[in-house]
Structure 1
């Protein structure tokens, strides 16, 4: 009987000890990157089209754009979009002011454009929940975040719209 008790204690200890030493996998923030082939346009035309897209896609392109260099064809901006919840628990804790903050980068070359979004964070303003004041929060959107797929789909759509706008804008600029 003592042997069974000893084996049981050692077995439980081994299981618990194994669980305690299992390292957790790091959770990476989500990122988005896509390369577009834009045939027939040179780097300067694509850059100008991307700059025009910033001007129409955001309330103030000057407030969004943090860096731009026409010679290298790079534009870096900080923007945001409304947060889209996913699932019952996520939607129940959402407020009207929730948003996704991000950094957008556009790099241009002759016939090509790369669009990337990173530093994606879910911002929730301070608000009242019943009689309790909830402090504002700002946390990264990771692979485990319930709204990650919805957010990435929205960014993909935005990038596709930018590429389409650049392609059609050159025709509009020349046919007026």
Structure 2
């Protein structure tokens, strides 16, 4: 049973107990009315609580985690194919087996799509006890003259193998998990972008 379900059950039990106690003793019906109103109001407010990814600083698109980086500064003056080649090499630099990661690539269109996997470490208890979780995600790269875009989406994983299951955790653990997830995804974007830019510099310095 989830934390929310247990809380609702306790509220119902408390409400019923108080109701019969006051009803059968026929004391202070006004107090009963106030108690009933306050309890139902509390229950309604709790049930209406909506926890979403932005509450943990995670960017979203259509309600789901979505990360994007667009660079038009470090590759200014470079053509689409040069940027594409630098990205293609970045896949090989970052992933152990880039062939298993890349699902679709089209140099003519300047696009590469793939699926990656990483892991995060987050606290699950006192005394610094932590756990690790595998995170799966899709990555899309698109190059154009003098700019490129990296997107991370379809992000899933965790102890429940499903991102929605994280909301079953207590607030403390939810925060720990999503903070770690957010840091890892942002770091990946930074590393991927930096690797592309470094590859561009190496190409430019070649004789």
TM class by smaller structure:
0.7 to 0.9
1: CA distance, partners of 2:106 / 2:27? 74
Unaligned stretches of 5+ residues in structure 2: 1-24, 54-63, 168-173
Confirm whether residue 24 of structure 1 aligns to residue 49 of structure 2: yes
Q: CA distance change for structure 1 residues 63 and 118 in 2, over 3 Å: closer, same or farther?
A: same
Cα separation, 2, equivalents of 1:109 and 1:86: 41
Matched, 1:114 2:114: no
Give 2:181's match in structure 1, choosing from 151, 154, 163. Answer: 151
CA distance in 2, matches of 1:108, 1:19: 52
Structure 1's 36 and 4: CA in aligned 2 closer, same or farther, altered over 3 A? Answer: farther
User: What is the CA–CA distance in structure 1 between the aligned matches of 2:152 and 2:88, rounded to whole Å?
Assistant: 16
Please state which structure has a larger fraction of its residues in strand: 1
Q: Is 1:10 matched up with 2:33? A: yes
Cα 1:3–1:107 shift into 2, 3 Å: farther
Instruction: Measure how far apart 1:88 and its partner are.
Output: 3.4
RMSD over aligned CA atoms reads 2.9
SS of 1:146's equivalent in the other structure is helix
Kindly tell me: are residues 92 and 86 of structure 1, through their superposed partners in 2, closer, same or farther at Cα, counting changes over 3 Å?
Answer: closer
Counterpart pick for 1:73 among 101, 110, 115:
110
Partners of 1:3 and 1:72 lie apart in 2 by 79
Residue range with higher mean Cα deviation, 65-74 or 3-12: 3-12
Q: Which has the higher contact order (CA 8 A, sep 6+)?
A: 1
Alignment correspondent of 1:46? 83
Counterpart Cα distance in 2 of 1:77 and 1:34: 16
Structure with a larger share of its residues in helix:
2
With the length of structure 1 as denominator, give the TM-score of the two structures. Answer: 0.74
Partner of 1:128: none
Q: CA deviation at 1:78?
A: 0.9
User: Helix, strand or coil: the match of 1:59?
Assistant: coil
Number of matched residues?
161
Look at both structures and tell me which one has the larger radius of gyration over its CA atoms: 2
Q: Is the partner of 1:44 in helix, strand or coil?
A: helix
1:53-94 Cα deviation digits (max 9, x unpaired) = 1112111111111222223222221111122214636x6462
Q: Partner of 1:82 in structure 2? A: 119
Task: State the match for 1:64 in structure 2.
Answer: 101
Which of 45, 63, 71 lines up with 1:36 in the alignment? 71
